[in-house]
């Protein structure tokens, strides 16, 4: 009789983690009636949804909160969330695969109740001006990046410069859209990145118009020789 009672008790106390969505704060947390979920209850997740006013595409920011303090975050989309959500492990969010799956499903279920923040940028912000200066500084250091028409910045480097200037990853498309609208960069078939060859290697780049940046065309060695010989002849 005692063994049966013990068995029933063990069954009722099996681990059970259930996520709940707080609509008012767009936060997901572990419900109070969850069983043996002390580790999971230390975490909650603030969900932010961003919509690009130009492309209409949406991004999703998932901020982990550990013991009431902001922890690391990821930026993804509802399309890729099921795979990307485990990237939170980089910040010590140690959850089993089942609980990550349930967390994703809870976000998906309540997605349309997450407040929408519009992403709209302009070319008058200090960080926009700062970015242009960073781009100029970058291309000036490498003559291979400068052609009569364009100054090329590899996509990865452009993203790094933008992040350093204060832009968020979910703002990148809007930023490129503003650059294109203001005629700073070339677009091809609606794409902001183009393929070119730098030092005989194919590279995806953001192609800035050289004249728009105010970058001088580098003087070739042959031109320098001609300038010197012309001066000698005089």
Write down the domain spans for the chain: 2-119, 126-233
Residue 29 banded pLDDT, cuts 50, 70, 90: very high
Q: For the residues 155-167, what does the mean pLDDT come to?
A: 93
Cβ atoms of 96 and 37 closer than 8 Å? no
Residue 122 banded pLDDT, cuts 50, 70, 90: confident
142 token code pair: 């490498």
Please name the residue that has the structure tokens 């010197």: 228
- Please name the residues in contact with 170: beta carbons below 8 A apart, sequence gap of 6 or more: 50, 59, 61, 75, 119
How many CB atoms are located within 10 Å of the residue 161 CB?
20
**CA neighbours within 13 Å on the CB side: how many for 129?**
3
Nearest to 44 by CA among 98, 84, 99, 118: 99
State yes or no: pLDDT of 7 exceeds 60.
Answer: no
Q: For the residues 14-42, what does the mean pLDDT come to?
A: 92
pTM beyond 0.85: no
pLDDT of 199: 87
Q: What is the pLDDT of residues 65-101, one digit of tens each?
A: 999 999 999 989 999 999 999 999 999 999 999 999 9
> Which of 123-127, 130-134, 193-197 has the least mean pLDDT?
123-127
**Judging by beta carbons within 10 Å of its beta carbon (0-12, 13-18, 19+), is residue 128 exposed, middle or buried?**
buried
């Amino acid at each position: 009789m005692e063994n049966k009672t013990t068995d029933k008790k063990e069954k009722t106390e099996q681990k059970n983690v259930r996520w709940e969505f707080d609509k008012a704060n767009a936060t997901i947390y572990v419900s109070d009636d969850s069983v043996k979920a002390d580790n999971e209850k230390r975490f909650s997740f603030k969900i932010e949804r961003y919509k690009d006013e130009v492309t209409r595409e949406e991004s999703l920011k998932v901020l982990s909160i550990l013991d009431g303090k902001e922890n690391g975050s990821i930026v993804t989309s509802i399309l890729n969330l099921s795979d990307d959500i485990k990237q939170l492990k980089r910040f010590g969010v140690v959850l089993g695969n089942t609980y990550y799956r349930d967390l994703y499903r809870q976000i998906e279920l309540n997605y349309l109740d997450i407040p929408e923040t519009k992403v709209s940028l302009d070319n008058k912000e200090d960080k926009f001006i700062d970015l242009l200066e960073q781009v100029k500084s970058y291309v000036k250091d490498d003559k291979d990046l400068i052609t009569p028409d364009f100054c090329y910045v590899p996509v990865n480097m452009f993203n790094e410069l933008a992040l350093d200037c204060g832009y968020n990853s979910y703002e990148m498309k809007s930023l490129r859209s503003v650059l294109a609208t203001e005629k700073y960069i070339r677009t091809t078939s609606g794409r902001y990145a183009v393929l070119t060859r730098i030092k005989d290697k194919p590279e995806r780049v953001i192609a800035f118009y050289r004249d728009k940046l105010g970058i001088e065309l580098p003087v070739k060695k042959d031109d320098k020789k001609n300038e010197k010989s012309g001066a000698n002849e005089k």
